[in-house]
Structure 1
Amino acid sequence: MTGSAGGRRARRLAIGTAVMLVLAGTNGPWLYRFGTERYHEYKINRPGYKAVNGHWDVVEFPKEYRQDTIHAVLLHTGKVLLVAGSGNNQDNFDAKRFDSRIWDPVKGTVKKVPTPADLFCTGHTQLADGDILIAGGTKRYERLKGDVKKAGGVMILYNENPDKPMTLPEGTRFTGKGNGKVFLSDDSVLIPRATKVFDRKTGRFLRNNPGYARVVVEAPKEGTRYETGTQDGYRIGGLTGADARNTYGIANKLGMDKRDFEGIRDAYEFDPVAERYIKVDPMNEARWYPTLTTLSDGRVLGVSGLDDIGQLVPGRNEVFDPATKTWTYTRHKRQFPTYPALFLLQNGKLFYSGSNAGYGPDDVGRDPGIWDVATNRFTRLAGLRDPDRMETSGTVLLPPAQDERFLVVGGGGVGESRLSTNRTRLIDLKAAEPRFVDGPRLAKGTRYPQISVLPDDSVLVSGGSEDYRGRGDSDIHQARIYDPASNSFRRVADPLVGRDYHAGSILLPDGRVMFFGSNPLFADKADSRPGVFEQRIEIYTPPYLYRDSRPSLSDGPRTIARGGTGTFTARRASAVRKVRLVRPSATTHVTDVDQRSVALDFTTSRDRITVTVPANRNLVPSGWYMVFAVDGRGTPSTARWVKVP
């Protein structure tokens, strides 16, 4: 006997329900996650949600074009230079595989660029002609204490001969006078000639002050038996007669201690049109983790970094002249931790916020202040909260740049400290007595925040991690927009990709923001699996690009002098409420001192906008800029590129 169709449907429904109940009992968490993820995806893709919170999209290059991007620079061609060098990968370094890419965010194309040296942990900045100055990089990778197999360390070399310098090749043999142990140099070295010293009053010769240099040496074989315990003098192999008497080495303990990264002197200009590196004169000092900052006269200051033996450059700062392509030392010394955040002010002095990215003593060069490079006068600034947690913090010049207000975001303790802070700090350098005050707090303690100024005068703050290099699965999948007018954060759409060490962000000419990099130590909460470098790019489209219409700029000049004017064709010109001149970013290691947004005076007439560029060259350093027109709702145009000579 067969039942009715309705009865059969009821039985199938009951069986299906029972099966679903069993599945739910065994796979409930999976079903819940699946449902939650599908709903979240649905929610973040709704037009209404995007209009309030913006939207994130992941860009993944074809496999043959992927790299571990450490540095990114927006070029005046609208493309982005992505630099990896060896990409914090020892195998790449050993094989001399050094990478750069040119990415076109409009066409979606990517191109490999021959890279002449290991530009991993270099410094970079925009030059007046649109080229990118790139200086420093990696000579040798660090070796942790357990990985050091041969005893070694730094040897000081002296030359007492005032008549000639002494050059020693790589592999020179040094033999201890007391301990009898042998070490070999890992690089060639030039020891300057001695300096004759005379009595100022009588002119009588007093002595020779030896010339000196430093070199890293290693034992020829592995093993702790080659370690030395105390200071000793060393004879130099291959020297005889007067040379052997005048030239010698002295070293303290040579052991199995950690060896830090070592820098290079190499410097290049990258040509955005030819899309190639052009070598210029090397720096006087090798630098790994340096900052490059434009000065009042258009030259570029190179500061800090680890030198060619892995020690912090002791305040020997130098300046690059774009006209002669050469470097000269500054008259005065001043030491900072590596990648210090140094910003050019409207009076020609530099503001140091205290933000930095790592190496250096915890009690030298960390106080924030205003630095007059010409006189070396440094005026300390008070009020900074959590001053012991400024490493890996980010600093941004708030828009408009004329106001000279800065925001400092997050940060952590020195080195591999687990400390981090959720504070932000504000300082108004135009106040009668400038001092730091607390800004709105972040949800979590944040190292490595990515910060980009937007054309509507807001600031996007995203990513970072609570712990050093994302330890303990501590990446922060949150983004906020800071409003300088209300001094408040607003939570927006969450990024899809975690970003910590070696990550950064760049404002694109169409008003979107690109994010790159991330180099976590570990890949799990228990810190049991090594981390994987994040090679995907992520694009954030802010809420202002989900509105019905936006202003437009076209048919304008390619060059506007400081103090001069330029006229653009503009659809909906009458709706424009502000115009911003934005310097393109050059960012790495939470350091982007190029980024600034300058307010332009303007007038409108029908479909025309005429803008005026401020006359102050410190406010508007020479170079290429993006011009954005912004309407009353905060919606920006696509930028027009303009050169300020």
Structure 2
Amino acid sequence: MALSTYIPYHHLLFLFLIFLHAQPCPAAGGSWSVLLPSIGISAMHMQLLPNDRVVMYDRTDIGTSNISLPEGKCRPNSTDCSAHSVEYDVASNSIRPLMVLTNVWCSSGTLMRDGSLVQTGGFDDGYRVVRTYKSCDTCDWQEKPNGLSKSRWYASNHLLPDGRQIIIGGRKAFNYEFYPKMSTSESTPSLPFLVETNDPQAENNLYPFVFLFPDGNLFIFANNRAILFDYSKNLVLKTYPTMPGGQPRSYPSTGSAVLLPLRIKGETVNEVEVLVCGGAPKGAFANANKGIFDGALDTCGRIKISDPNPQWFMETMPLARVMGDMLLLPNGHVLIINGASAGVAGWELGRNPVLSPVAYRPDNQVGSRFEVQNPSTIPRVYHSTTVLLRDGRVLVGGSNPHDKYEFSNVLYPTELSLETFSPSYLDSNSSGLRPKIILPVTNSRIRYGKQLVVVFNVSGVVDLSSVSVTMVAPSFNTHSFSMNQRLLVLDGGAASKIIGRSRYQVVVRAPPSGNIAPAGNYLMFVVHKEIPSPGIWVQMQ
């Protein structure tokens, strides 16, 4: 099946934007590479699967895409014979079209413990649909109508320790539910916090930022506030202070957020921190709809949510950003990528793409945490996506601020390309420091709390005291939030030399419980002097 050879024309616009939005400080590192000039769709949603394939999809009501369904298939009762979902194979750099029937626009999802993507909600005929994709060479989407109790559009999901996922909020949905259901009569509890954070003019509480706290409860952030929530008892355990300045950070004033790396010590994690960056000021949504594009926020708020009396600590980014994505890298750094420097999320409502990613090093001293990276030439604004790949590269796709596919006579054309950003740890001059995992082998099963011997090679000079082992949960990314994203730094001692000139081992302990690491698939990395190995897939159980 050949892809369309049409490549959107915006070369001169890119050069103009790079000149117009010169960076305030020199770029530090990283490199970009276009993988495919067109995957046929604009990737609005993205999930890495444990076979190194990435499933992506867009709206189904957008008209024909630039890639056909196989074997002359067409959507039922439609003349649309194009695909609105694809599977990208990282190893072969190739695309396979998939058939999705109901509208997945602005939906959510979770990679379940069996390696299948269970995706929920969407728009119109997709409001209450649950769709499952289990990857294989001939697999396709399976859809379950009325799998949800309520309509879910712009909701957030999280994998729970019991193996289910929780689906929180959505447009006009001030409640939550679980999937799979324990019974047909399972209730849909209300969540007043979502009412309290709902701005009647702009909502600003959609796609809330949700993280599993190591005690099994949920940290939920919407608009400019957060709670610690016991979902099993429908009980707010703690209300956190409003973020200083009171500016909205969630959709459509879209900032992003991460749970900073969890450093396991024995049976627990002593410190748990959340970082929220970017967004758009109050009133920006109304202004953008009038053609007035307010500058994005340039602040991040960091809060130690495990403290008895937690307080926000504010930092200033080198580049203001709305609709940016925050991604945990294997070495514990945070990459802030994609987005714009003015406006808000929505059709035609963003301006001035931010082409340079920023690296944030959470363990550095205040004032030396941010570092601007080398820019792309492709604007990634509304409906852009990103995920971490097993080899440490960052996959970037999407960007379509229009309600159809528009390739000409628009400020930011629909983007069908797929590219990667390679952080500086992948530079060739670091190859001698880069580990390669020998044991455990890929797809090994890791049991909670058990001792784990990790054997690895390093060709160059090794600092045995600077070796750590991390595990990263592959996230579901859409609308500037990576659901289920978490990075664990395993408890263990310094590495030691074992056999030959370049073979070493480090003994660590697997995560102690499903509250810290819900059972399922993780990418495991050995990190040496902040240079990660290629990852291997492991199954936490």
Q: Does 1:59 align with 2:35?
A: yes
Amino acid corresponding to residue 89 of structure 1 in structure 2:
I
RMSD: 3.1
TM-score normalised per structure 2 = 0.77
The CA deviation at 1:503 is: 1.1
The CA deviation at 1:335 is: 5.5
Structure 1 Cα separation of the partners of residues 241 and 124 of structure 2: 38
SS at match of 1:119: coil
1:597-608 alignment, distance < 5 Å: 597-602=487-492, 604-605=495-496, 606=498, 607=503, 608=505
1:389-404 alignment, distance < 5 Å: 389-390=248-249, 391-400=253-262, 402=269, 403-404=271-272
Are 2:226 and 2:242, in contact at CA under 8 Å, matched by a contact in 1? Answer: no
Structure 2 Cα separation of the partners of residues 95 and 447 of structure 1: 37
SS at match of 1:540: strand
In structure 2, relative to structure 1, the CA distance for the partners of 1:128 and 1:325 (3 Å cut) is farther
Are 1:316 and 1:329, in contact at CA under 8 Å, matched by a contact in 2? Answer: no
Which of 387, 390, 405 matches 2:273?
Answer: 405
Q: Equivalent residue for 1:489? A: 370
Which of 532, 536, 540 matches 1:640?
Answer: 536
Structure 2 Cα separation of the partners of residues 55 and 130 of structure 1: 31
Amino acid corresponding to residue 388 of structure 1 in structure 2:
Q
The CA deviation at 1:610 is: 3.5
The CA deviation at 1:463 is: 2.5
Q: Which moved more, 1:578-587 or 1:380-389?
A: 380-389
Which of 92, 106, 114 matches 2:91?
Answer: 106
1:25-174 alignment, distance < 5 Å: 52-61=28-37, 65-86=39-60, 89=62, 99-139=84-124
Q: Equivalent residue for 2:328? A: 453
Which of 343, 353, 366 matches 1:475?
Answer: 353
Are 1:270 and 1:277, in contact at CA under 8 Å, matched by a contact in 2? Answer: yes
Q: Equivalent residue for 2:437? A: 553
Output one character per residue of 1:379-434: Cα deviation in whole Å (capped at 9) or x when no partner: 32115123233131101111236431111011114645444311111000122201
In structure 2, relative to structure 1, the CA distance for the partners of 1:472 and 1:135 (3 Å cut) is closer
Pick the structure with greater CA Rg.
1
The CA deviation at 1:328 is: 2.9
Q: Does 1:319 align with 2:178?
A: yes
Which of 282, 292, 303 matches 2:157?
Answer: 292
SS at match of 2:426: helix
1:242-253 alignment, distance < 5 Å: none
Are 1:296 and 1:344, in contact at CA under 8 Å, matched by a contact in 2? Answer: no
Structure 2 Cα separation of the partners of residues 82 and 301 of structure 1: 21
Q: Does 1:563 align with 2:442?
A: no
Are 1:522 and 1:529, in contact at CA under 8 Å, matched by a contact in 2? Answer: no
Amino acid corresponding to residue 176 of structure 2 in structure 1:
N
Are 1:471 and 1:521, in contact at CA under 8 Å, matched by a contact in 2? Answer: no
Amino acid corresponding to residue 127 of structure 1 in structure 2:
M
The CA deviation at 1:61 is: 4.4
Are 2:83 and 2:98, in contact at CA under 8 Å, matched by a contact in 1? Answer: no
The CA deviation at 1:83 is: 1.3
Structure 2 Cα separation of the partners of residues 85 and 556 of structure 1: 40
Unaligned runs of 5+ in 2: 1-11, 66-74, 195-204, 264-268, 288-292
In structure 2, relative to structure 1, the CA distance for the partners of 1:554 and 1:85 (3 Å cut) is farther
The CA deviation at 1:325 is: 9.3
SS at match of 1:53: coil
Are 1:85 and 1:98, in contact at CA under 8 Å, matched by a contact in 2? Answer: no
Are 2:254 and 2:344, in contact at CA under 8 Å, matched by a contact in 1? Answer: no
The CA deviation at 1:536 is: 1.1
Q: Does 1:270 align with 2:128?
A: no
Q: Which moved more, 1:126-135 or 1:376-385?
A: 376-385
Are 2:106 and 2:154, in contact at CA under 8 Å, matched by a contact in 1? Answer: yes
The CA deviation at 1:522 is: 11
Q: Does 1:590 align with 2:496?
A: no
Amino acid corresponding to residue 450 of structure 2 in structure 1:
G
Structure 1 Cα separation of the partners of residues 184 and 539 of structure 2: 24
The CA deviation at 1:132 is: 1.2
Structure 2 Cα separation of the partners of residues 57 and 621 of structure 1: 34
Structure with the largest fraction of helix: 1
1:290-439 alignment, distance < 5 Å: 290-306=155-171, 312-313=172-173, 315-321=174-180, 328-334=186-192, 336=194, 337-354=205-222, 367-378=225-236, 379-390=238-249, 391-400=253-262, 402=269, 403-412=271-280, 413=282, 415-417=285-287, 418-419=293-294, 420-439=296-315
The CA deviation at 1:611 is: 3.1
Structure 2 Cα separation of the partners of residues 618 and 269 of structure 1: 24
1:139-218 alignment, distance < 5 Å: 139=124
Which of 566, 580, 584 matches 2:470?
Answer: 580
Are 2:521 and 2:540, in contact at CA under 8 Å, matched by a contact in 1? Answer: yes
In structure 2, relative to structure 1, the CA distance for the partners of 1:293 and 1:327 (3 Å cut) is farther
Are 1:70 and 1:517, in contact at CA under 8 Å, matched by a contact in 2? Answer: yes
Amino acid corresponding to residue 135 of structure 1 in structure 2:
T
Q: Which moved more, 1:527-536 or 1:105-114?
A: 527-536
Are 1:460 and 1:480, in contact at CA under 8 Å, matched by a contact in 2? Answer: yes
Q: Equivalent residue for 1:210? A: none
Are 2:350 and 2:381, in contact at CA under 8 Å, matched by a contact in 1? Answer: no
In structure 2, relative to structure 1, the CA distance for the partners of 1:327 and 1:493 (3 Å cut) is farther
In structure 2, relative to structure 1, the CA distance for the partners of 1:548 and 1:426 (3 Å cut) is same
Amino acid corresponding to residue 536 of structure 2 in structure 1:
R
Are 2:325 and 2:481, in contact at CA under 8 Å, matched by a contact in 1? Answer: no
SS at match of 1:626: strand
In structure 2, relative to structure 1, the CA distance for the partners of 1:80 and 1:473 (3 Å cut) is same
In structure 2, relative to structure 1, the CA distance for the partners of 1:338 and 1:497 (3 Å cut) is same
In structure 2, relative to structure 1, the CA distance for the partners of 1:289 and 1:428 (3 Å cut) is same
The CA deviation at 1:286 is: 2.0
- Paired residues, number: 455
SS at match of 1:328: coil
In structure 2, relative to structure 1, the CA distance for the partners of 1:508 and 1:327 (3 Å cut) is farther
Structure 2 Cα separation of the partners of residues 639 and 441 of structure 1: 29
Structure 2 Cα separation of the partners of residues 132 and 618 of structure 1: 21
The CA deviation at 1:473 is: 4.0
The CA deviation at 1:321 is: 2.8
Amino acid corresponding to residue 629 of structure 1 in structure 2:
V
In structure 2, relative to structure 1, the CA distance for the partners of 1:428 and 1:118 (3 Å cut) is same
In structure 2, relative to structure 1, the CA distance for the partners of 1:284 and 1:473 (3 Å cut) is closer
The CA deviation at 1:117 is: 2.0
The CA deviation at 1:580 is: 0.3
Amino acid corresponding to residue 560 of structure 1 in structure 2:
I
Structure 1 Cα separation of the partners of residues 164 and 431 of structure 2: 44
Amino acid corresponding to residue 593 of structure 1 in structure 2:
M
Amino acid corresponding to residue 613 of structure 1 in structure 2:
A
